[in-house]
Structure 1
Amino acid sequence: MDNILSLPSDSDIKKVLKRNDKELPGFAQVMAKMLTLCNDPDATIGDVAKLVETDPSITAKVLGIVNSAFFNLRSRISAISEAVLFLGLDEVKKICLGATFFEKMVKSGPQKQVDRTFFWRHCLCVASLSQALAAEIGYPTPEDAYTAGLLHDFGKIALDRFGRVNYAVFCKNAFNCTGPSVEAERDVMGIGHDDLGAYYGHRWGFPQKLSLAIQYHHRRFNHLDLCKEDMQFICIVCLADFLAWTQGMGSVDAIAPLSLQPEVEQNIQLDRINFEAVIQKMDEEIENTAKFYEFKFPSSDQYRANLLKANLKLSSINSAYFSPKQKEIHQKKHSMTASITAPHCSLEPEKILSATLKAICQDFGFDRVYILRAISPLRRLQVVKCLQQDGFSNHLASHYISTDKVDNGFLQCLRNKEPVVINGTLPGEKEVLERFSVFQMLVVPFCSHDKVIGLLGMDYAVSGKKIEPGLFSSIALVANELGLALENASAYKKAKSASLHDGLTGLLNRMAVDDLLKESFIKAVSEDTPLSVAMIDVDFFKKFNDMFGHQAGDSVLKLIAKALKKMSRPTDYVGRYGGEEFIVVLNNTDPPKAGVYAERIRKEIERLGHLLSDRFPGLGLTVSIGISSFEHDTKNKQALVSKADEALYKAKKAGRNRVVSQ
C-alpha cells in the first residue's frame, strides 16, 4: 500500500507539523474503530452502540440527529440501540461516523484559525454528494462513498491545528491565485492536505480505497494499478468535491479554481447522471442537519452569488494543470514568452484553437500554422484552421491529406504520437508539400483522452527557413496543453448542459428557467411586451407511482415533457419546476393566446392519457394548468410565478383536467 499511496515520511511530517507523534489526540482511536465497524459486514448495532456510548458528547449528538424532524420518527428514542429499529444499521453508522468526526476532530481544538463552519459544511456536502453519485452510477456500496466524502479533506484540520505555518493566513492569500490551492499548500505549508490526510489514514488503518480517495481527490491517478471499482470510488469523491465547490460550498469562505481530472469522465458517464436530483439530495440533507452542527445554510440569493463567483473563478482554470510535464514547463528557463505557458482562459474550442495558433506564430516565428483534424471514417487529415503571419486565412481550407495505406510521416506522427518533420522523402509527402508550397513541414499531434484527434502543422512558407529539431519538445508541450484544453472545454460543455437541464426529462431545470424568466421579465418591463407563464401539474401523480411503480411515474413525466416541448414555440422556455410540476415561459404572449396554448396542452395530454389507458388501467392521465400574465403592476418575476401557482391551485381545487387564468 505504501508504494501505491506514495506516503510522506515521518521526517517529512515533522518538518511541517509542530507535533512529533503520529496521531491527532482524541480522534484516531474512536474514528479508527468506527471505520472498522462501518466496514465490517458482521458488525451489530450493539457494537456500534457500545463504541458511541463511550463518549457522552457523541451520544448526545447522534440521538439529537436521529430524533430530528428530518427522520420524522413517531416516537422519541433514547438509546443508540433503538435507533437501528427505525433507521437501519447503515444509516446509524453514517450518523455515528459523522458525529464522531465532528466532535473529535472538527469541533475540538483551538478555534482561532480557519472557520470550521465552512469546513464542516463542505464535508457534509461532499459526503452526501458522494453517496448520491455512487447510487446514480450503481456503485455497490454508496455508504463507503459517503465516508470518503466526509473525510476527504481532514488533512486541512491537521494543518490548521498543528501546521508550522499559520493555515488561516495561508488560506487568505492562497485563494487569490489562479492555480489549485493544494499546490500552493505544497509550496507554502510544505505538504498538501491530501498527502497529510493519506498519511494519517494509513497510520490509523483506514481501508486502502479510502486512503487512495483522500490522497488522489485533487490529482491524476490513471497510473495506479486499480480495479474498475476502486477507480470509480476515487472518481466519485473527485466529482463530488468539484460539484460542492461549484455550488459555493467550499471548505473555506472563498472561491477556489478547480480542475476535474480526465479520469472522472473516463470512468463515469457524466451525461447519464441526474445532477439535479443529486444536488437536491445534498440540499435536503444539509438543510435538515445544519442546526445540529450550528451553521446556516446559504439563502437562495447567497447561493446564486456563490454560484456566479464559482463560475467566474472556474473560467480561469489552467487547462495544463494535469500535464505530466507541468512542473518542467515552469522550471525551464527559456526564451519563450508568457503566451505559451499561459492558461487557456476560454472554454470555447474555437477560441482555444485560435489562441494556440497565435501563440505558436508569436513565440516560434513560423510563417504559417494550421490545424489538421483527423477525419476517421475517411482516413484523412483536413485543414480546418490556418493562421498566417498577417492573420487567419481560408487558403488551405480545402486541402486534405490521405492516411490510407500510405506509410509516410503523417501516419507515423499519428501512430507514434510524436512530432515529425515532413521533408518529401517518404511516399506521398512530396505531393503534399507541393500543394502547401513548402519544402518542409513540422507536424505535432494533439490528443484528447489519449487519442490523437489532430495535428498541429507549421512551416516557413514565406521565409523558406529550415525547421530546427530543437523546437520539437517545446511545441510538443504546447500541443499537449491544446489537447488538455479541448478536453476541459468538452467536459465544461457537458457539465454546463447538465447543470441547466433536468436529468430525467431533458427539459430546463428550475434554476435555468428562473434565470431565463428574469431576462424575459426585464424585457417585458423595458419594452412593454406581453409575457405569460403557465404552471402545469399532473393530476393524481402519486397514484401512478403507488399503483404501477416509480418507473411508471418517470415514464409519465418524460411523455408529458415531450408533449410540452413539441407544442411549444422555439422562443418559449419549457422546464420541470419540481416533482410533477412543469413551467412554460410564454414570451410575447398575451392572456388570450396563453389561454389557447394551455387548452391545447390540456387536450393533448388528455389524448395521450387515452392512448395510455391500457398501460395504466383505471388511472387516466390528465393535467391541471394555471396561467398568469404580466401586468404593469406586477412587481417581479416571482410575483408572476406566484400568480400562476395560485391559478394552478384553483384549477386543482375545481377538479382534475382544468385550466384557470389568474
Structure 2
Amino acid sequence: MTDQDTDDTGRIKKAASLILKDDIKHLQLIPSVALKLLTLTNDDNARIDSLSRIIETEPMLTAKILRQVNSAAYALPNKITSTNRAVTLLGFSTVRQLALNLLIYNNLKRQNPSQLFDLLFFWQHCLYVASLSRRIAVALNYPDPDLVYTGGLLHDIGKVVLETHGRVTYSDFIASIGNNQQSTLEEERNFFGITHAEMGHIFCLEWQLPASITAIVAFHHNQPTEASPHAPFNTAIAIVSFADYIAWIQGIGSATQRNSHPTLQRAVLETIDLDQLNLEALLQQVDQDMQSTQEFYNIQLPSLITLRATLVKATINLSQVSEDNALVAAPKLSSCLTAPHHSLNPDDFIPRTLEAIQDEFSFDRSIMFTIDPKRRCLIASYGWPESTLPTKQPAFEININSLSGLLLTCLREKKAVIIHTKVEQNNPIIQHLKTTEFIAIPVAHQNKLLGVLYADKSLSKKPLREQLLPEITPIAYELGIAIFNAKQYHLEKKNAQIDHLTQLFNKRMINQFLTTIFQEDGAALANIAIGFIDIDKFKRLNDSCGHQAGDDALKIVADILRNLTRPGDFIGRYGGEEFLFVLRNTNETGAYGYAERIRSEIERRGKIMSQRFHGHNLTVSIGVSLYSEHYADYTDMIETADQAMYQAKNSGRNRIVMLTGDGK
C-alpha cells in the first residue's frame, strides 16, 4: 500500500467514525455465515463439503436450498434430502449465490415503510448488477465469474451502513437533496463527510472481506491508479461498474428518488471489449435470472423497466472514446496550421481556419460540426463561405443516435473518411447539403472528440482524392488544440470569478456586478435588494466538528442558494461564512419572501443533519437592505445589509431583518 493510499484510508476512517453512531467493528450488516461464504471460492471440488457445512448451520437456508433442488425445474426422480447432495447437483457456484442472496436479503427486508431509502428496491438493484456482472464475466472469459457476482451484490453496501447506522441516514440524505442534479458522490460527501463507496471500503477492511471484493466496493465509481494495490482487480471493477451503469440507465438504480445516474468511466471501456458482448442476449438472460430470483424468494420485486438493447448500445457509444494516436505526415501548410492559434475566441479562429482550408485546397464549402453531448447531436456551427449556413434558418443538426455507416466510423474510430452518395445515399449530410460526396475529419484533443470538419467540392464537381485525408488531418489536429485551449482559457477565466469551495461567484465578482448595477438609472435601481447571509455559530461548528464539516455546511448553504434563486438574480460568497445575494425587479414583500425561503430551507436541512454536526443546528441570520436614493454607492447598501444581519443575530439568530437607507 502506498503512502497516498494509507493517507486516504486514514482520512475516510476518521470521517466514518464521525458519521456513525457505533464503531464500525460492531455493525452486523452481513451475518457471520455470509462472511464465511465470502471466503469460499469454486476453485476446488473439496470446497463443496465446506459449503455444505456452512449452509447446514442455517436451518432456513438449508430448507430453501433443498426446496430449490427438489423443484419441478430439476425434475429429479428421487427427493434430495442431503445438503451435500443438493450442492453437488445444483453446483457450487449456484448454491453459494443463492445462500449469499438469502442471507443478505433476510438482513435487509425489515424496513420502516416511511424510509425514503427503499431497501427492497436497493436489493433488487444489487441482484441485477450481480447477475449482469456474472453474465458479462462469462462472456469475456473472465476467470472468476463468482467474484464479480459477489462484488456486484455488495458494491453499494456503504449505503446500507449509512442508512442503518449513520447519525443521519441515507433516507435523510435523499430527503435533503430532492431532485438536485449534481454528482451523487459529491452530494454524499457534503452531507455525510464521506461517500457510500468510501464507507463501503472501510466496512470491507474492518470485516476483513477478500481484497478483490474490497476493491470492487471501494472503486466501482472511480477505478484505482496503476500504482494502487487494488489495480490487479481492475477488470473485475470495470465489469461491475459497467453492469451498475446499465442497471441505472434502465431505471434499476439503488435509490428510487434519484434522477441522475453514474457516468461511464473511460477506463471501463478501455478494459472491457464491447465487441465480445451480445447485449440483447445478456439483458434477456438477466431478466430471466431476476424472474427466477422472485420465484425462489416468493416475493414481488418492483417491476423491471426492460429497455431494448439498442438503447443501451447508443448510450454506451456516446460515452466511448476511441484511440487514434497516429497522425500521418503532411506538407507544411502554414496558413491552415497557424490559423487556429490566432485567437482564443472560437468565433474568430474557426471561421479563419475554414477560410484557410478552402483557399489551400480549393474546396467549395467547409463546415465545422460541433458536438452537443447533452443533446447527443452534431451541430453545423460554423461555415465558409458565410452563406453556407444561412443565419435566418434553424441550425442544421444531426442526431448521433441515428448515424450509421462511414460517418459513425468517423466519430467512433476518429478516422478521416470520404463519403459518397453511391455508397450512402441516405446520409443526412448528403441529403441536407445536396452534395454527391464530402470529406469528414474528426477534430479531437487528448482522445476526446470535439467535432467534425466537413468539406466538399459540390459546385466544381471535382472528385475528392483520398490523398487529401492525410493532408488535412494535421489541420484538424491543430484545430482540436485550439478549441481545447479556448475552453481552458474560458475555464481559467471562470475560475478567477468563482469561489473554489462553494462554486458561487467570489467577492471580486460581487463588487464587479454591483458596480455595473449602480451605473444604471434610478428607475432600475429602485427595485434592487441586497441580502447578507451569515451562518450562525459557525466557529463553534468548526471547532466541534472539524473544518471538513464546516466546509460541508458552506457547500450546503451554497447549494440551497443556487436552487432557490432566479436566473436573473445574483448570489456569491462574500467571505468566510458570509454570503450575499442581489435581487432585481423586486420589492419589500418579494425580498422578504425570498430571504425567508432561504432561511427556512437551511433550517430544515440543518435539522436533518444535526446528528452529522454533533447536535449543532445549521441556521443563518439574514440582513436585507432595500434601495434608497440616500445610497451614494453600492458599498453603502452592503453596509446597511450587514448592519441588518447583525441586528438579526443580536435578536436571537435564525431570523431576517430588513433596513433601507433611511435606517428603517
Give the TM-score, by structure 2 length: 0.48
Select the structure with the greater relative contact order (CA < 8 A; seq sep ≥ 6): 2
